[in-house]
Amino acid sequence: MSSQDIVILDGGKRTPRADILVDNKSPGLFSRYSTTQLGGFSITGTLANTQVDKSLIGHVVMGMAQHSHRDSIYGARGMGWRGGLGQDVPALTVARICGSGAEAIAVAAEIIGAGLRHDEDRPFIVAGGAESMQYPFSLYNMRGQKVGAATQKYGPIDTSALPPGTHLQDMLLMSLYDPSAKMAMANTAEELGRRYGISREQCDEFALRSHLRAKAYRDAGGFDEEIVPVAIEGGELRADTHIIEHPSLEKMARLPAAFEAGGVISPGNASAVVDGAASMVIGRLSDAEKFGCTPLVRIAGMGVAACDPQIMGWGPVPAVRIALKKAGIRGEDVDTVELNEAFAPQALACMRDFGDLGIDPEKVNPVGNAIALGHPLGATGSILSLTAAYWLRKNHKRYGVVTMCIGGGQGIALVLENLAR
């Protein structure tokens, strides 16, 4: 250990993860909130729960994958002021698609470590990520129309007044198609399933594992310390919404293949589409000690890697290999892994190769992951980092790995060392 080590302080918070639709029909419980609002909720909760004084926060670094609302362009800046930070605190939005929340933590650590932009008088940084998956439909071929001729600065559009040649595209669906791979993200996971000989039954069994583990952890109160409640119509949301109360293989087997005829991916074994956010405070160990703050974990290593876009979901394997080397540990030393379950065959393929790194597959996702809990793109890396950090402390274990695949063919991984065991 060194006094210059970068640590995550105790007290980080995340919102619950809320499905973008209720029962696949009605607007989701967070549908009225923008990405910056969700990020603001997590920052408010983190600053209230962390011992550090707000006057010691010198920067905000937050991940966000996609612009989904009118205020999304302000990103981390909007999240910072909504979270209660002053106008004199600068902010940076980072985007590495699905890895944005983890990238934000890495960038914040590098700002501190490099020193070029680090404010020694305000030595702590708020880092994390947020994503509203309420992506809009985008209207094309309207540029040049006068305001009032069906083009409006604000408010709804009268679709009956749209001229011929205009068209709408669903940005949620369009964003999931990778032109470099010439296929959608789900089809890259189907390709991994073919290469690794993964069956539909294995995918459904993995999905069941995710739901059962997440439900057990939630029911035991495991997620409670990381969640800040969010106001919704009629009360507060205090828990993730996608966990199935009574999952079964029989029910999952009845769901049709969603992306390819005869494919292995169904709505039941793919990641849930949810809204959410998470944040934490990071700084040097020496500053944590100086200002009486409790360090939770040390950022021991980080890795980012690229791979063939047609098997983009395999990216965590080389990323974890790099992160372990940076941390100076072996796979056998790892006590828990938070691997984002973008799709069941993708996660299963990575887990097989993790075995070659010495990582026990049973240590992967001990409390479930995105199939049961959801994947709010820009927030996932920060959410999983909080979950891993708190799990390490609860279980008196030392090393955790947080990793995820990234659209376009990348992977990112963090190694966290528990300082509170």
Catalytic site residues?
Answer: 98, 405
Q: Are 407 and 378 in contact (CB under 8 A)?
A: no
Strand segments, DSSP code E, in 23-123 are 26-27, 57-63, 91-94
Residue 62: strand, helix, or coil: strand
Q: What's the alpha-carbon Rg for the chain, to the nearest Å?
A: 21
How far apart CA 321 and CA 314 sit, in angstroms, is 12
Q: What count of other Cβ atoms lies within 10 Å of the Cβ of residue 191?
A: 22
How far apart CA 31 and CA 356 sit, in angstroms, is 42
Q: Are 111 and 61 in contact (CB under 8 A)?
A: yes
How far apart CA 391 and CA 14 sit, in angstroms, is 15
According to DSSP H, which parts of 51-158 are helical?
A: 75-82, 100-114
Amino acid identity at 78: G
Percent helix / strand / coil, the chain, rounded to 5: 40, 25, 40
340-363 core/surface letters (b: 16 or more CB in 10 A; e: else):
bbbbbbbbbbbbebbeeeebeeeb
